[in-house]
Amino acid sequence: MAQISSIANEQTSTPASSSKSITLRISRYNPEYDSSSKFMEFTVSYQKWTTVLDTILEVKQYFDHSIAVRYSCRQASCGSCGMMINGKPRLACFTKITELNSNVITVEPMSNFPIIRDLAVKFERMFESHHKIKPYLIRDDSEIESDTKEFLQSPKEVEQYIQFANCIKCGLCNSACPTMATDSSFVGPQALAQAYRYVADSRDKGKDTRLKIIDESHGIWRCHFAGSCSQVCPKGVDPAMGIQLLRGYLLGFRS
């Protein structure tokens, strides 16, 4: 789809040799000692390719070793470094300083997730919701029993769900969702998108089981198609699409 995205749009063409600097404001909060969070500011230089994670790690290395931050792959594959960057949930390793177009970068822990310390948050609730929708193939037989020793799927059948299988469980969608902002019992866009991933999988026979699970007062019906989850998803999972397609089954538009 040919759409111009702001993600890759850079306003500066800084030559490799020169570097500018920005003010990095990091939210600091230790629930054991602090009653509320506070910000610490650091001046950090950056270049054309510097990501927010690079600046945080630079601060951690040279200024304050105690900053708690979760990260791993540095290439938007693991989903560890999700945080609020200038008010919007993003992956720190996937967000370049230049694309933020600001001299002040504010990083905070992801909203709608309990804080462990500083920028690290707890994922238990998201994992529980994910587990609730049975994120595995449900069927009575196993592939060992079939003649082909595998469940065959055509490329067209794979296309129906592969987009939703790209989910890296980063939690940005849950952070952006307006329902998650107030509803502690809502399953969340991540779990709902994964429910659709399995319902759309031709190998799966557990559609009715999953639909029954999400057909409750804090299930799929508390999604109002605000689309914020899809706006922030770094892997193109588009949870909003999955949720609306899933809803089609409950409304009788799809069988």
Partner 1 sequence: MRESTIMQIHYGTAIAAVALVAVHVLMRLTQGFADSLEYENVLANYKFIPYAIMLELILVLLSIHGFNGLRVILLELKQGRLYEKAVSYGCLAAMIGLIAYGSRTIIITNMGMV
Partner 2 sequence: MTHDEHKEGIRGMANPRRYGIERVAYWLMRLSGLGLLAYFVAHIYETSNILRGQVGWDELMEMTSTTEGHIILTLVIGMCVFHTVNGIRVMLGHGGVGVGKPARPDYPYDPASQNYRHKIGIYSAIVLAAVAMMYGMAVMFGE
Regarding 75 and contact with partner 2 (CB under 8 A), the answer is no
Interface with partner 1: number of residues (CB under 8 A): 15
Regarding 113 and contact with partner 2 (CB under 8 A), the answer is yes
Residue 228's binding partner out of partner 2, partner 1, none, with CB under 5 to 8 Å set by partner kind: partner 2
Closer by beta carbon to partner 2, 80 or else 230: 230
Q: Which of residues 19-58 bind partner 2 (CB under 8 A)?
A: 36
Regarding 204 and contact with partner 2 (CB under 8 A), the answer is no
d(CA 124, CA 244): 25
Q: E strands of the chain, at which residues?
A: 20-28, 38-46, 82-85, 88-91, 104-108, 115-117, 120-121
Regarding 34 and contact with partner 1 (CB under 8 A), the answer is no
Regarding 116 and contact with partner 1 (CB under 8 A), the answer is no
Regarding 172 and contact with partner 2 (CB under 8 A), the answer is no
Strands, sheet with 88-91, edge to edge from the N-terminal-most edge strand:
38-46, 20-28, 104-108, 82-85, 88-91
Ramachandran quadrant class, 89 (left: phi over 0; alpha: psi -120 to 50; beta: rest): beta
Q: What are the φ/ψ torsions at residue 96 (nearest 5 degrees)?
A: -85, 145
Over its C-alpha atoms, the chain yields an Rg (Å, rounded) of 21
d(CA 253, CA 124): 34
Closer by beta carbon to partner 2, 14 or else 111: 111
> In sequence order, what are the beta bridge partners of 21?
45
State whether the Cα torsion 128-171-217-215 is positive or negative: negative
Q: Which of 16, 182, 236, 255 touches partner 1 (CB under 8 A)?
A: 182
Residue 159's binding partner out of partner 2, partner 1, none, with CB under 5 to 8 Å set by partner kind: partner 2
What does the per-residue mask of binding to partner 2 show for 206-225, with x meaning CB under 8 A? ------------------xx
Q: Which of 123, 161, 172, 187 touches partner 2 (CB under 8 A)?
A: 161
Residue 211 CB, shortest distance to partner 2, in Å, is: 14
Residue 249 CB, shortest distance to partner 1, in Å, is: 10
d(CA 82, CA 53): 10
Q: What is the number of H-type helices and E-type strands within the chain?
A: 10, 7
The residue behind tokens 């909003």 is 240
Regarding 253 and contact with partner 1 (CB under 8 A), the answer is no
Regarding 189 and contact with partner 1 (CB under 8 A), the answer is no
Of 116, 118, 114, 136, nearest to 126 by C-alpha is 114
Rule CB under 8 A: which residues touch partner 2?
1, 3, 5, 7-8, 36, 87-88, 109, 111-115, 121, 159-164, 166, 176, 178-182, 184, 200, 224-228, 230-238, 240-242, 244-245, 247-248, 251, 253-254
